[in-house]
Structure 1
Amino acid sequence: MKDFVIPLAIAVIGLAATGWGALVGARAARFGAEKNAEAVRRQVQDQGAVEHGHWTRQERMTAYESFLGAWDECLRITQTPAEDHASDSAALETLRVAAVRMAERARRIAILGPLDVARAAESLSKTMERDVKIVARLTTEVQEAIADVDGRPIDNDALAEATAEFQRRNRDLTNLVTSYRAQGRDLRELDGHPVLRAALESMQQYRQVSSAARDALTENFERLSAASEQAFPVGAELILSREQHEIDRQAFTRAARTALSTPPPLSTSTETRTETSDTGSRLTRRRNHTH
């Protein structure tokens, strides 16, 4: 009996060892397959993250360049000398359209990010919107002044005609006086003379026309002076706004350069899955050790 039990025990132990070895081998193979699958998934996701980062960088660069292009267009219009466009409503409308385009491109940057670049773009856009309002106010002031001046025109033709008539009648009167003196005649005899009467009439006409022209010129000068006084603080505000332009642009450029030079981080989901896989592996090893 003893001779039978010992071989049987050895056979049972061998069978158990074989089964245990098969179980361990199967679990090891499964663990290896899971690791390979996880490595493939991680590689695919990392590659996707790299490609997405490249796409994001390209889209940001395009958006930043487009935004600066709209900004330069607005700046070019606002820096045009005032006498070239202050009274031109078409130029003001062009500036409004350019500012709207700039705001639209700033909103795209708000989508693409990052946050500091989006804030700098928004600041630039609002500064330009403020400039449009300033230019609109300045344009309104100048246009109203011009309209007032045009409403009080100086009749240069009438003034020139009255002046020529007065000079001609004055020469005739001078010649008549000279003739009277040469003849030794009393100048009081000129009273009621047609030449004297015509000269006095031309003088009165000249005084009326020149007085009207002088009054119109004075009113126009005063209106233009008032418009200049009102436009001066508006122009000063525009100068200060342009100084803020440079500050905002430098801030935007720095933020954009940093954003484009910084590689995007790997996605959080990849790290989470990696940690989950590692945790699962530790649990598997713990269960194998327990068994």
Structure 2
Amino acid sequence: MKDLVIPLLVAVIGLAATGLGAIVGARSTRFGAEKNAETVRRQVQDQGAVEHGHWLRQQRLSTYGSFLEAWDECLRITRAPVDVPDPASESLDELREAAGRLAERARRIALLGPEEVTQAAEDLTEGMQEDVEAAARFIRACQAAESAIDDRPVRPEAVAEATEEYRQRHAQLEDLIDAHRGQGRDLRDLDGHPLLADVMRSIAQLRQVSGEAGGALLENVERLSEAVGEAEAMLDVLTRNKEARELSRERFTSAARQALGTPPMPA
């Protein structure tokens, strides 16, 4: 009996060891496979993060550059010399279009970020929109003043004609008086003379056209004063915005450099 038990125990123990070894080996293989799979997954994830970061940087670089191009275009329009007779409307339309492109590119920056660059772009865009509105107010004031002047012309030629008419009639009257005196006649004999009526009509005409010209001139001066007031207000806005724009552009370029120079964080 003992001869049978011992070999049986040895066989059972060997079988158990073999099974345990197989289990341990299987688990080791599985662990190694999972580890390799995690390594591969991490590598793929890191590679994807790097590629996305590169794509994002390229998109930001392109968008930041196009935003500054639109900004420089706006500045070029606002600083362009006036070398045509009536460029106000065309220049304002051109500036509006350029400011619209600036706002569109600022919205794209808001999608790409980061927040610091987005805020600086929005500040620049808002300042330019204020410049456009200030210029529009000034042009409307000038157009209103011009329209009022056209509706109420001074007509200096009418004043000149009335003045010349009065001068001629007055000279004729002086000649008539001298003739009467030379003949020793009484000046009261001139009562009812047609020339006296002509002189009185010339005086009345001169007073009328002078009064009309004076009233028109006064209204025109008031209109021009309003236009000057609008110009001064616009100048204040532009001066204030110029200082703010310089700071906003500096913040934008500084934030853009930092965003483009900061490597992306892997997920």
TM-score, scaled to structure 1: 0.72
Q: Which amino acid aligns with 1:260?
A: L
Inter-partner Cα distance in structure 1 for 2:258 and 2:185: 97
1:10-89 equivalent positions in 2, closer than 5 A:
10-80=10-80, 88-89=88-89
- Please name the residue that 2:152 is paired with: 152
Quote how far apart the aligned CAs of 1:134 are. Answer: 2.0
SS of 1:265's equivalent?
coil
- How big is the shift at 1:197? 8.5
Shift of 1:256: 1.4
Please name the residue that 1:233 is paired with.
Answer: 233
Partner of 2:118: 118
Please report how far the alpha carbon of residue 82 of structure 1 lies from its aligned counterpart in structure 2 after TM superposition.
8.3
Q: Deviations over 1:199-253 (max 9, x none)?
A: 8876765565455434433432232123313432332122112211111121121
Q: Tell me by how many angstroms 1:118 deviates.
A: 1.5
Higher relative contact order (CA 8 A, sep 6+): 2
* Letter matched to residue 97 of structure 1: E
Cα 1:186–1:112 shift into 2, 3 Å: farther
What is the 5 A alignment of 1:1-291?
A: 1-80=1-80, 88-162=88-162, 208-210=208-210, 212-267=212-267
Whole-angstrom CA distance in 2 between matches of 1:81 and 1:136:
17
**Do 1:162 and 1:209's aligned partners in 2 also have CA atoms closer than 8 Å?**
yes
Note if contact 2:137-2:230 (Cα within 8 Å) is conserved in structure 1: no
Decide which moves more: 148-157 or 26-35. Answer: 148-157
Q: Distance in 1 between matches of 2:160 and 2:220?
A: 19
**Is contact 2:96-2:132 (8 Å) kept?**
yes
> How many residues align structurally?
265
Q: 1:67-125 CA deviation, whole Å, 9 max, x = no partner?
A: 22222233333445689799833433333333333222222211111122122222222
Q: Is the 8 A contact 1:74 1:98 kept in 2?
A: yes
Partner Cα separation in structure 2 for residue 39 and residue 259 of structure 1: 30
How far has the Cα of 1:196 moved from its partner?
9.2
Paired residues of 2:141 and 2:226 also in contact (CA < 8 A)? no
What secondary structure, in the 3-state scheme, does the structure 2 residue paired with 1:16 have? helix
Residue 156 of structure 1, CA deviation: 3.9
Deviation per CA, 1:153-210: give whole Å up to 9, x if none.
1324434545566677788889x69x97xxx777988969999987887676556545
Q: TM-score, normalized by length of structure 2?
A: 0.78
Return the offset for 1:66: 2.1
Distance (Å, rounded) in 1 between the aligned partners of 2:133 and 2:91: 13
Higher mean C-alpha displacement, 162-171 vs 29-38: 162-171
2:127·2:241 contact (CA, 8 Å) conserved in 1? Answer: yes
Q: Percent identity?
A: 54
SS of 1:13 mapped into structure 2: helix
Greater Cα offset, 190-199 or 104-113 = 190-199
**Separation of aligned partners in 1, 2:141 and 2:83:** 13
Aligned to 1:288: none
SS at match of 1:221: helix
